[in-house]
Chains A and B, each alone.
Chain A
Amino acid sequence: MDLQLNPMPVPAAVKADPRQAAQALGRLLRQTPEYEAFLKELNVVNNHPAVQKISTQMRSHQNALRWFQGDMDDHEASLARLETELEALAVVQGYRQAENTVSQMFTEVDSVISQAAGVPFAANAKRSGCGCGG
């Protein structure tokens, strides 16, 4: 006997739940090789002795600036020098490259979401940084 399965009719419009779609998207993005590489680079940077040393020095100058201790111009100049030193490290450059690859992929994903939504998504989804409701 020749059995032929009749496929179930697909409803014309399956209304997706935005929250479920967003969760699925987050999981998919997390599994991409680009994001895996980015997390790996982040871990390397966070645990690198030179990065930790420079970061500690930067925090010290930032605290001094916050509490108006010492010469403000000196602290600002030191911060700028340390930031340049930090960005010049090979591990940081590797991290920046991985970060930019992920950013470009996310920008493309955002463009697809925004086009389908009819409203820019990422630009309107960013929370205000101050937490003051503004």
Chain B
Amino acid sequence: MQAEELLNTSRSLGEALRASESVQKYLKALADCEADPEAADLEKRMLAMYNELITRQQCGETLTRNEIDNFNTLKRQVYQHPRIAERDAALTLVKRYFAEIADEVNFPLGMEFPTLAQAAKV
């Protein structure tokens, strides 16, 4: 009975969060961003360049000034892209809202639910 109640309450919290304005705005911004080929390509290129540079650096190679400048230019392009900026701004609001909601869970526990939920060892 308790497990079922826990499951229902968790689901009901999730559904209430999904219906909230901040989550709705974020999900829309995320879908818009994923549907924009330019935004998707920019992020893909940035991730590929980051992985390549970090791998070379970890192997002891010194990166040139030009390579670092190129990466920073691409990073700026990514974060200035309107769809990506919209998605990131919407996610920031979701995070603020989720932290407030988590406080309501934390209070009766006297501990941080998010921290404990992410600390499990397999």
Contacts and interface: CB of A to CB of B under 8 A. Distances in A.
B115 A126 contact: yes
A118 interface: yes
B20 to A, nearest CB: 6
Given A103-B119, A126-B99, A23 B27 contact: no
A125 B102 contact: yes
Given A103-B120, A112-B7, A116-B18, A126 B23 contact: no
B11 A112 contact: yes
A127 to B, nearest CB: 5
B82 interface: no
| Chain A contact residues, majority secondary structure | helix
Given A35-B109, A100-B121, A110-B117, A29 B13 contact: no
A99 B20 CA distance: 32
B118 to A, nearest CB: 5
Contacts of A35: 109
Given A26-B104, A112-B7, A121 B98 contact: yes
A30 to B, nearest CB: 5
A78 B120 CA distance: 28
B94 A124 contact: yes
A112 B10 contact: yes
B55 to A, nearest CB: 26
A125 B117 CA distance: 11
Contacts of A116: 10-15, 17-18
Contact of B19 (A15, A25, A110): A15
B48 interface: no
Contact of B101 (A18, A31, A100, A115): A18
Interface string A29-48: 11110010000000000000
Interface of A: 15-19, 21-32, 35, 99-100, 102-104, 106-107, 109-110, 112-119, 121-127
Instruction: List the 6 closest pairs (A to B, CB-CB), nearest first.
Output: A116-B14, A22-B104, A103-B120, A125-B102, A125-B98, A26-B108
Interface of B: 2, 5-7, 9-20, 23, 26-27, 91, 94-95, 98-99, 101-102, 104-109, 112-121
